[in-house]
Chains A and B, each alone.
Chain A
Amino acid sequence: MTTTGLRAESGTGPVVRSVAVAAAAIVVIAVLGLYSLTQGEPDSTLGAVLDNLFRTGPIEGDIDSLLIREVRLPRVLMALIAGAALGIAGVLLQDSMRNPLADPTLLGVAQGAGFIIALSALYPEVVPPLPTTILCFIGGTLAGILVLGLSRDARNPVKVVLAGAMLSILLGTASTVVILIAPRARAAGVLEYFRFVIGSFFDVRWESIGLVLPWFVIAIPIALLSARVVNLLQLGDETASGLGLNPGRARIGLLLLAMVLVTPYVAAIGPIGFVSLFAPHVSRSLIASTDARLVMAISALIGAAILLIADTAARLLFFPFEIPAGVFTWIIVGPLALVLVGRLGGRGATA
C-alpha cells in the first residue's frame, strides 16, 4: 500500500479516533472519580469534594476534609496511577513479545513477588533490607524473565500461558515451603504473606502513593519514548535487526521496563489481575491501530478507568463490607479479557 492510498482512505484516522476515545475516557474518569470521592460513611457533597480538591493549605478539622483528602483521594489516585501503569506495561509486553497473551498476571509476576515477600516476612535475615517495592520488582522480574526470557518461543501464546501457570504453582509452593519450615516463633510473618496474596486498596494512604510515585514518574516517559522501538519489534526480529535494532537486547530492556511499571503496585496494593491484558486489546480495537505510541496513551487511560471502576465497585457494592480489589478484578476483568481473547482465537484479530 502506498501513502497516497492511505491518505485517500475516507473516514477518521487513528489519531482522530484516539483523541475521541481519550476524551471519553477522561470524562469517565472525572465523573467516576468525583463520585467515588463523595461516597463513603458518611457521604460527602460534591461541593465539599470540589472545595477540598482545589483548596490548598492544611486540612481542616471537619470529617469531610479528613475523609476526602486523607482516605478517599489517595485511593482514587492510586487506582489511576496503577491502572495507567498497568495499561502501558501491557502494551510493552504484548507488542515486544508479539504475543497477545503476554501479561504479568499470566506470567507469575505476582507469585514471584509473593515468594520474596514470604522470604522477607519470615526470614528477614536472608533478604537485604530493601523497600517492598524493590523486593517485588526483583521477584516479579525473575518470574517474568523465567517464562519469557528462557522460553525459546515467547510468541506462542499457549506455551506462555501454560508456562506462566506452572511457574505460578511452583513459586506458590516455594512460598508455602518458606512458611512451613519457619519455626513457630516467626508465625506472624505468615499473615503478612497472605495479606499480600489477596491484595487490597484498604490501607492506601499518601505514604503508599509516595512509595509508587517515583517509579511511575521515571518509567512513564521512558515507556512513551520507547514506543518507536516497540513498533519496530512488531515488524519481526529480522526486519527490526535489518533496520539497526538488536531485538534480543531491546526485548529484555522492554521487559524490565514493563516490570518497573507493574511491580510497585503489586507491592502497594497486591496483585491486580488482567487490567494489563485487557486495556491494550480494547485500545487497539477502539482506535483500530497498532501504533504503539497511540495504543500506549489510550491503554493508560483505559487502564486507569478500569481500575477506578473496579475499586469503586469493590468499595461500594457490598458496603460496608469491602472485597479486595484484586479479587474483584479477577472476577470482573478476567472474564472480559477472556471474551476478548476468545475473539482473537476465533479470527478477526483487528475487528
Chain B
Amino acid sequence: MTDTDAAEVAGTVADLRATGIDAGYGSPVLHGVDLTALDGKVTALVGPNGSGKSTLLKVCANLLDPEAGSVVVCGEDIDGLSTRQVATRLALLPQGPTTPPYLTVRDLVEQGRFAHVGPLGMLRRGDHEAVTRAIQLVGLEHMVNRDVDSLSGGERQRAWLALSLAQETPVLALDEPTTFLDIGHQWEVLELVRSLNADRGLTVLMVLHDLNHAASFSDHLIVLEHGRAIAAGEPWDTLTDELLRDVFGIEASIIADPRTKRPLIVPHAAAKRRSGSTES
C-alpha cells in the first residue's frame, strides 16, 4: 500500500500551503498565518523569539492540530491523511532531538523508513537502498556503525538529517537545524541542505534563527511576529531597514554580499523599542 502511496506522491507538485492557521498550546500562539513553500525552493521561516516559528512548523508537519485553517501538502489536505501518509510526503527534523545511547547511525536512519515498511517492521530491499542513499547523501557512509551520541555535533545533525532523507519525501521541514552547532558545522549543515535542494529538487522549509543564514540559503523568506506573518518574499524584497528595526529591534545596514550578491545584514545598534511593544 505504501509503495503506491509513494508513486502517487511523486507525480504531484511538491509544495506546502498553509492558510489561515490559528494554533497554540491552550493559549493562542498563531493568528491566521498563511505560508507557502514552493516546489523545489528553499523557504526560510524567520522571526524573533516567541513569534511562533516552531509552532507553525509543527502545524505544517501535523504534530499540532490547528484550531483553524488548513495545511495542504503536495495537493492534499493534511487533515485527511493518516500519520503514515503525511510521513511519506513531508519529513520533519525537530529542533535538538535526543538520541538514546548505543544507537548506531544505521539504526537511527532505518527509523526513517517506518512509514514505508510493513507492520512487522521488516526492511525490504528498497528500504535498505533508501537508507544507504540517505547515509551517502550526508556523507556518513564511513560512520554507519558508530553510535550517534559519539559523533561530533555536525555529524550528529547530519545523521538526523539522513533519517529525514530516508523518508524520501518531496518536502523537508527543518526546525533550526543549526542550533547547538559551532559556526563551521552550521555552514556544513546549511550547505548540505542547499545542495539537496539543488541536486534532488527537494522542497525545503526551515526555521532559522540567524537572519544572515536565512538570506544566504533561502529563495524565499517568511517573517513572523507575534504569531502573524508580516512579510514574505525574496530576501532582497523582504529584508528592509524598517523590518529589522521594527521586528528584530536592530539598526542595521543591508549590503550585498560581495561574492554571492545576496543580502548581508550588518547590525550597528539595538533599536529604540517601539511604544506598545513593551511586553516581553
Contacts and interface: CB of A to CB of B under 8 A. Distances in A.
A222 B85 CA distance: 60
B100 interface: no
Contacts of B26: 347-348, 351
Contacts of B25: 346-348
A1 B279 CA distance: 10
Contacts of B27: 348
Contacts, number: 8
B30 to A, nearest CB: 15
Nearest to A5: B278
A346 B27 CA distance: 12
A107 B26 CA distance: 32
Interface of chain A, helix or strand or loop or mixed? loop
Interface string B266-280: 000000000000001
Nearest to A343: B26
Interface in A1-44: 1
A106 B26 CA distance: 29
Interface string B10-39: 000000000000000111000000000000
A212 B27 CA distance: 46
A345 B280 CA distance: 24
A228 to B, nearest CB: 27
Contacts of B280: 1
A346 B25 CA distance: 9
A347 B25 CA distance: 8
A46 to B, nearest CB: 45
A347 B24 CA distance: 11
Interface in A30-86: none
B83 to A, nearest CB: 20
Interface in A300-351: 346-348, 351
Nearest to A346: B25
A102 to B, nearest CB: 23
Contacts of A348: 25-27
Nearest to B27: A348
A1 B280 CA distance: 9
A63 to B, nearest CB: 55
A219 B25 CA distance: 41
A273 B27 CA distance: 33
B280 to A, nearest CB: 8
Interface string A183-204: 0000000000000000000000
Interface in B227-280: 280
Contacts of A1: 280
B26 to A, nearest CB: 6
Nearest to B25: A347
A346 to B, nearest CB: 8
Interface in A83-114: none
A140 B25 CA distance: 40
A351 B280 CA distance: 17
Nearest to B24: A347
A238 to B, nearest CB: 20
Contacts of A346: 25
Nearest to B280: A1
A248 B280 CA distance: 34
Interface of A: 1, 346-348, 351
Given A347-B26, A348-B26, 6 more contacts: A1-B280, A346-B25, A347-B25, A348-B25, A348-B27, A351-B26
8 contacts: A1-B280, A346-B25, A347-B25, A347-B26, A348-B25, A348-B26, A348-B27, A351-B26
